[in-house]
A and B are shown apart, each in its own frame.
Chain A
Amino acid sequence: MKEPMYKSARDLPSAHLLGAGTAMCAGCGGLEVVREAYDVLGENTVFVNAAGCMTLMSVYPFTPFRGSWLYTAMASAPAGAQGVRDALDIRRAKGELEAGDDLEVVVLTGDGAGYGMGLSATSAAIDRGLDFLYLCYDNEGYGNTGQQTSPATPHGARTATDGALAGVAGEKKDLFGIWVANRPTYAATVVGSEPLDLARKVARAKSRSGPRLILALAPCPTGWGFEPSETVAIGHLAVRTGIWPLKEYVDGRVEHTRRPHPRLPVTDYLKTQARFAHLFEPEPNEQVLAEIQASVDAYWDAVE
């Protein structure tokens, strides 16, 4: 499939496919991503959903999607995508469906399923070379249940289950790296606050077949503790501090699509969110702040 060119923001789709009035929270960074990605994917898309915040997108009898939707369970959305993809292929081979009846099969999952419970089903779908797009909105915690620690929660963040002063002791899992190690056709990180970068990557993913990852940082006002109006600004800071590298894996190589120069200190990002407030008050936790900065520096040192 030919890839549309998005040279500037003026080239982005002006007609928006996603309907308004979903049950998502105000300022939801995941919804921002779905909205932008859907415009590029088009209405001939079936979303196969894993349990998470977005499961409440379609509540009987309403849906914001012009295309189709299938909710599965938390662990097995990629297997649901396998069943849909295979059945579409079987029906096309039998002549029951025309080429125009075909659909882009998109798994829509949060980080709770994507980094954890659903990882086995995802890995196996990549092994099988399943032709699907895997869209993960990463709000860095089990957001739908009130932001408990997930495998995507970053070091030092406080969550509903890691409320101690130091926050989460572990490190955020590298889902992009796991995908790349499985040699998919395409993988990219995005954030809704960078719509042009996002549209280019979704278009590139759509133009290819096979297993494809779009991993989106999804700033979460309720889970991270910031005003809904700050979602875009926090997305920008995540990129400019180097905390959320924008990159893509294509033709066997990882390329960064944005190299923040100069990188802002991570504290610019951390201090915007209540989940990191304990690192600043009543006393700055210099050790944890230094650990976070060192981890970001080490990442970019390795890149550059």
Chain B
Amino acid sequence: MTRTLLTGNGAAAWGARLARADYLPAFPITPQTEIIETLARWIDMGEMDCRMATLESEHSMITAAGAAAATGVRVFTATSSQGLLYGMEMLYTVAGWRVPLVMINVSRGLAAPITLETDHNDILAARDSGFLQLHCATCQEVVDAVLLAYRLAEDPAVRLPVIVNLDGFHLSFTREPVELPDGDLADRFLPTFDPGPGEIRAGKPTSQAVAVLGGGPYSYFRYECHLAALAALEVHRRNVDEYAGLTGRRYDALECYRADDAEVVFVMLGSFATKAKAAVDQLRQAGRPVGLVRPRLLRPFPEADLRRALAGKVAVAVIDQNLSIGKGGVLHGEISGALHGVSGAPPVIASFIGGLGGRDITAEEFFEIAGQTARAAESGQVPPPRLLYTLHELAEMRKLQAIAHVERQEEVPGP
């Protein structure tokens, strides 16, 4: 093991290098670009045996990624935000091809308005695509998740592509100490790529991704994909055990932090959960029994684990760093669905929306969320969904609007 300082992007690149990815179809987009630049440099310097192709769009990039995986090589690629959505058609398509590949998504808010900063609407738009999803909270987790993702994707019982998600700026450009696994350890954990049953080569004709006629075959193949994703729960459990044995680092489908004896539990995804952890420690010091549950694996959805982790709690506060327009927090709906009708399910599952477009979530806000959620449990009244937004922010917004208003009036031509 080598201990070094890496950004989340650097850690993602190291994951690809340790996995001995053969092929890198690429397209630049902030805040992901550092990943492909790092890999390109290693390839140029002869430090990594990999072929890179810069495509003209993410749609083409994901097509090339899927086609290369179907032809029998280990593929790594990366994107973010608008790029993920530009390639969305091909996410569904290559997942249906049942090709194992790993793609990084560096989460960034979606236009409009356009922004570079992080939230999870991009990755959650890919929720139903057939790509499995691993969500990271630290740079260490990024490098480890890439190896776990390949192992999961290439398992014969799974054969589905995997997205490893990390938050733009907060992880992508933040340096943290990272223990890099040694190359031979990575090789032991991740065997040589197996092209699977349908590789494309001469003398072994195959037709892939063909059309079907009628709902019967269509339903069959789609449901087979779903069953493979569900099978990934058990496969991942085994992989996590093995990886923990090799590295001492454990990445269960759920990260449960001081959750066992908690009465109120925060549930959230990604790097902002580290802020929640700090708040949990402070709340605990103040004698408040609060904990955190963070799904690392979002697809397949670790429903049974969530039920176990959350049953018997007094209340749950789901903090969504995303917004389903016209509905609310996506994770809130997922957690509510998982707990519905379960004996011992928490009577209060409160919804908070925060951290959109990189907006911070402060310790005070976590304290307030914990307080409101605990009071809701006492009163039995589930509070309406809340947007985390301060009076100060509103005042700043009003100033911007005032400037915009003045500017517009100045542009109005005179009589």
Contact = CB atoms under 8 A, between A and B. Distances in A.
Contacts of A68: 200-201, 205-208
A91 B71 CA distance: 9
Given A86-B68, A121-B57, A72 B63 contact: yes
Contact of B205 (A43, A75, A79, A96): A43
Given A58-B211, A87-B73, A102 B67 contact: no
A71 B67 contact: no
Contact of A91 (B59, B66, B72, B213): B72
Interface stretch (B48-56, B137-145, B154-162, B304-312): B48-56
Contacts of B68: 83-84, 86-87, 90
A96 B22 CA distance: 13
B23 A86 contact: yes
Nearest to A96: B72
B278 to A, nearest CB: 44
Interface in A93-127: 94, 96-97, 100-103, 120-121, 123-124, 127
Contacts of A80: 63-64, 66-67
B348 to A, nearest CB: 45
Contacts of A88: 71, 200-201
Contacts of A83: 23, 25, 63-71, 75
B203 interface: yes
A123 B204 CA distance: 31
Contacts of B213: 59-60
Contacts of B64: 79-80, 82-83, 86
A84 B61 CA distance: 12
Given A58-B210, A76-B90, A90 B73 contact: yes
A120 B211 contact: no
A69 B207 CA distance: 4
Contacts of B51: 86, 89-90
Nearest to A49: B209
A188 B191 CA distance: 46
Contacts of A123: 56
A120 B57 contact: yes
Given A60-B217, A86-B53, A123-B56, A79 B208 contact: no
A81 B356 CA distance: 38
Q: Which of A56, A59, A100, A123 has the most CB of B within 10 A?
A: A59
A292 interface: no
B74 to A, nearest CB: 9
Nearest to B66: A83
Contacts of A86: 23, 25, 51, 53, 64, 68, 73
B23 A90 contact: yes
Contact of A63 (B25, B89, B200, B207): B207
A293 interface: no
A80 B204 CA distance: 19
Interface in B211-256: 211-213, 217
B200 A103 contact: yes
A87 B210 contact: no
Contact of A55 (B54, B72, B206, B211): B211
A48 interface: yes
A70 B66 CA distance: 11
A93 B282 CA distance: 57
Q: Which of A44, A80, A84 has the most CB of B within 10 A?
A: A80
Nearest to A71: B209
Contacts of B60: 75-76, 78-79, 82, 120-121, 124
B208 A69 contact: yes
B72 A76 contact: no
Interface string B289-328: 0000000000000000000000000000000000000000
B210 A59 contact: yes
The 10 A-B pairs of least Cβ separation, nearest first, read A83-B67, A79-B60, A87-B71, A124-B56, A83-B64, A83-B68, A76-B63, A87-B68, A79-B63, A69-B207
Interface of B: 22-23, 25, 51, 53-57, 59-61, 63-73, 75, 89-90, 93, 200-213, 217
